[in-house]
Amino acid sequence: MRRVLTITTLVFTLFFTHQLSAQKNEDSGRWPNGLTAKILAIDYGRPNDMDDLDISNGLEIAYVRNLGRMLNFALPAKVGLANIESNQNKSTVFSLDAVAQLQFYKEGRKFIPYLFGGGGVVFEKDEGSNVQIPFGIGFNIRVNEGGYLTLQGEYRKSLEDNRDNAQIGIGWHFKLGANAANKDTDGDGIVDAEDNCPEIPGVATGYGCPDTDGDGIMDTADKCPEISGKKKFDGCPDTDGDGVSDDKDDCPEEVGPEANFGCPEKPKDSDEDGFPDTTDQCLEVAGAVAGCPDSDNDGVADKFDECPDAVGPKDLDGCPDQDGDGALDKDDLCPTVAGKFSGCPDTDNDGTHDGIDKCITEKGPGSNGGCPDIKVEDRETLKYAAKAVRFETGRASLKTESYEILEQIVDIMQRYPNYRLRISGYTDNVGNVDNNQTLSENRAKSCYDYLITRGISATKISFAGYGESSPIGDNNTNAGRRLNRRTEFQLIFE
């Protein structure tokens, strides 16, 4: 223990002696080097969940040396009495640490916080030693030119069980260094009393102020501090030698009069688009093509572009022809496929081009949208189905004999894929009107459901019920009522 104290004393003596003999212009806008003395409260109980251990006390002496604007290095040495689990009596402990401090220091500020962390060794009388990692927060409060009141809270994490501890200290930081007469805040070698820019490093020829471009004009008076210039131009150059300094010259590399902001006289350009009025084809509107705007950037001015919002070649007046068939896209019914019929081909050669042909792979007359007509025999089958599809009396259930004709309708639908089927249900006037309306709808839906089960797409079929409306026979006779009870099937081209 005595050997440790002797070594610590020697270390502090060497640091202290070096500081007194070598320190110059210490007060340069940084935290002052010095010695700190504190009274400590030491708690080994709560950090180790041992509430029966009392708080003890100790002393700390630390040497603090500044390494930068915000960084300090400190060597704290501590001695105290500590209540430790393994010792019935208070044990004498001694520690030696090395810590780094992140200090939020600014000259003139009275309240200065800091964070710290590091490592150290703690020696316990009769118990050996253990390594601890101290970290925490502290505050320095400026009291006078000579020192600061210091408050610190610290937690020490030990690498040995039951040795974690917390410490709170209060004390004084004794400032070491030269007197204020040698103060050089910006560290440029010129004391503040003779420095015209005490917080900014500068040169002696500028009385402590910087001259970044080295033109002999201090930055504080230099209008171009990063470019060497002439005194008559307040430190700015005149690249083109026209008597207008570059900071005021809109054309620093072209000779021009001051009245024209250092730029040469130019022809009149009313819309300021770079095209003189003598050659500008759009005097009142700025543009990049002969002085005119070009909205689609195809090189054809909007004024002459038949398609100002679509890119196209000049020989087609600015209009595109994607498929190259000679028909401009704006007039081409098939702009992506070449063809000779309004820009479209006629794939099935039925005389109806693909632009209007609804069945481009099947021949058909133009009157039918280019799709094939329904054969006479198929029309007759659909007409026959109206009376061939039968239902249970007063119900929407299909009778077995209806399946044959419905299968024929399935076949027709498969042969006319471009047509849709409309199913319409009707009843006679016997019974309640609302009931007849519902019955006609349900019977049409029964046919619809059957066809879907046979693979016909629901998008190709529609159904509706019309009840007693649109009779085709006399409801006063049995024969007439039989005709009125029907389900019609109609192929529609859409």
Cα–Cα distance between 229 and 282 in angstroms, integer? 43
Place of tokens 């600014």: 106
pTM of the model: 0.36
What is residue 374's DSSP assignment? P
Distance from chain centroid for Cα 285: 37
Q: What sections of 307-419 are H helices per DSSP? A: 376-388, 402-415
The side-by-side arrangement of strands in the sheet containing 419-426 is 461-465, 419-426, 486-493
Cα–Cα distance between 291 and 303 in angstroms, integer? 11
Cα–Cα distance between 466 and 432 in angstroms, integer? 14
In this prediction, residue 193 carries a pLDDT of: 65
- Longest Cα–Cα distance of the chain, Å, equals 136
User: Is residue 66 within 8 Å of 30, Cβ to Cβ?
Assistant: yes
Domains of the chain: 2-178 (2.40.160.20), 376-493 (3.30.1330.60)
Q: How many residues are given for the chain?
A: 494
Spans of the chain, pLDDT less than 70: 1-30, 86-89, 107-108, 177-183, 191, 193, 494
CA separation, residue 79 to residues 123, 169, 337 (Å): 9, 13, 95
User: Is residue 122 within 8 Å of 129, Cβ to Cβ?
Assistant: yes
Report the alpha-carbon angle 33-37-38, nearest 5: 130
In this prediction, residue 364 carries a pLDDT of: 76
Cα–Cα distance between 220 and 197 in angstroms, integer? 9
Q: Residue 238: helix, strand or coil by DSSP? A: coil
Backbone angles phi, psi at 142, to 5 degrees: -70, 125
What is residue 254's DSSP assignment? S
Q: Which of 442, 455, 461, 462 is nearest to 398 (CA)?
A: 442
Task: Look at the alpha carbons of 40, 45, 51, 54 in this order and tell me if their dihedral is positive or negative.
Answer: negative
In this prediction, residue 15 carries a pLDDT of: 41
Residue partners of 403: CB distance under 8 A and separation at least 6: 450
User: Is residue 323 within 8 Å of 335, Cβ to Cβ?
Assistant: yes
Q: What is the DSSP string of 112-148?
A: EEEEEEEEEEEEETTTEEEEEEEEEEEEEEEEETTEE
What element of type H or E holds 17?
A: helix 2-22
In this prediction, residue 343 carries a pLDDT of: 81
